[in-house]
A and B are shown apart, each in its own frame.
Chain A
Amino acid sequence: MPMDVAAILKSIEASGLATRIRESLFLFPLIESTHVIGLALVFGTIAIIDLRLLGMASTQRPFTRMASDILKWTWAAFALTALTGSLMFITNASVYYHNFFFRTKMALLVLTGMNLLVFERTAGRTIHGWDRDPSAPRSGKTVAALSLAIWISIIVMGRLIGFTTSRAVVAPPPAGVNFDDFLGTPSGGGTSATPPHD
């Protein structure tokens, strides 16, 4: 990693805001909870739109009417997730920056933006021709199916970040302790412990 990126990440982590969030008992859990609320709203509202494009729900409702009704909530929720996501990132920037699942999540977010752009350039151009049809043309349906798949993957990646960047540390068991003895299973089966995670 170039030195300047490492230095930037360290300075982000050392900022007053990041330190305050990191050292507070309540701030990080509350920011994370708000992030989850935002994500639930983003996915829920996007799913409503995608299912309409696929012709699986709300087929009687004109697409443009529905989109103008719902997309404002999607954008507001997206802004909330971006803000809370950034606040979580700054608390542990160098760890998140190197995390595979974080990077995949960011790449998927870019991909979902590109998918939206494809919609605007294809089915979006002829919207008034199929607005009242029960489903979108093939290009619109493809974009909708991809959108659902990408957003589900984003949620999975987000959860996996929590399972792989936990700051919790579990001390190793004392030497000579065999967990199989406690479980009443024959010894020699190896030990297993649940990995720490948020």
Chain B
Amino acid sequence: MICLRILGWAGLDQTLRQTTSRFGPWLTGGLWLMLATGILMVIGEPVRELVTFSFWLKMFLVAVSTLIAASFQINRRKHERRWEETLMQRRSIQGLAILTFLIWLGIIILGRLIAYDHIWGPWSPATKA
């Protein structure tokens, strides 16, 4: 929803601050929930999770997206007025919103591909086992 607001595709009756304060806490809560359940899944089946290319690529993308989200929140709080008036309209910022959305699609796809890691062929450690 935050990406859609930056792109001007949803929530146009809301300011960016209103949108982030509405969805930000759910985003953070969701991330903690996924971290906790993810750790439990890794503990439950460490080989199935850790010995896959998909898992490590997913973890890399999660780290990148968390970094983007944290930088965005810090910068938006620091330059609140600039974000509302000019920064949101910048092509580079809108490009970053699309990139963030695509990264999250990638994270979902890779999460599912952990079960099908053989599709990566030689990149998958599972195929070497």
Contacts and interface: CB of A to CB of B under 8 A. Distances in A.
B112 A29 contact: yes
A58 B119 contact: no
Contact of B108 (A29, A37, A48, A198): A37
Contacts of A48: 1
Interface string B45-71: 100100000000000000000000000
Interface in A50-75: 57-58, 61, 65, 69-70, 73
A37 B118 CA distance: 21
A93 B49 CA distance: 29
Contacts of B1: 48
Interface in B1-39: 1, 4, 10-14, 22
A33 interface: yes
A19 to B, nearest CB: 18
Contact of A33 (B11, B12, B108, B118): B108
A69 B113 contact: no
Nearest to A32: B112
Contact of B10 (A25, A37, A73): A73
A9 to B, nearest CB: 25
Interface residues of A, number: 22
A30 B109 contact: yes
Contacts of B42: none
Contact of A40 (B12, B108, B113): B108
Interface string B85-118: 0000000000000000000010011011101101
B14 A33 contact: no
Contacts of A61: 13-14
Contacts of B4: 73
Interface in A118-159: none
Contacts of A65: 13
B22 A198 contact: no
Given A61-B14, A69-B10, A25 B119 contact: yes
A33 B109 CA distance: 5
Given A29-B113, A29-B119, A58 B108 contact: no
A34 B113 CA distance: 11
Contact of B113 (A33, A37, A70, A194): A33
Nearest to B109: A33
A36 interface: yes
Given A30-B109, A65-B13, A69-B11, 15 more contacts: A25-B119, A29-B113, A32-B112, A33-B108, A33-B112, A36-B109, A36-B111, A37-B105, A37-B108, A37-B109, A57-B22, A61-B14, A73-B4, A194-B45, A194-B48
15 contacts: A25-B118, A29-B112, A29-B115, A32-B112, A33-B112, A34-B109, A36-B109, A36-B111, A36-B112, A40-B108, A57-B22, A69-B11, A70-B10, A197-B115, A198-B115
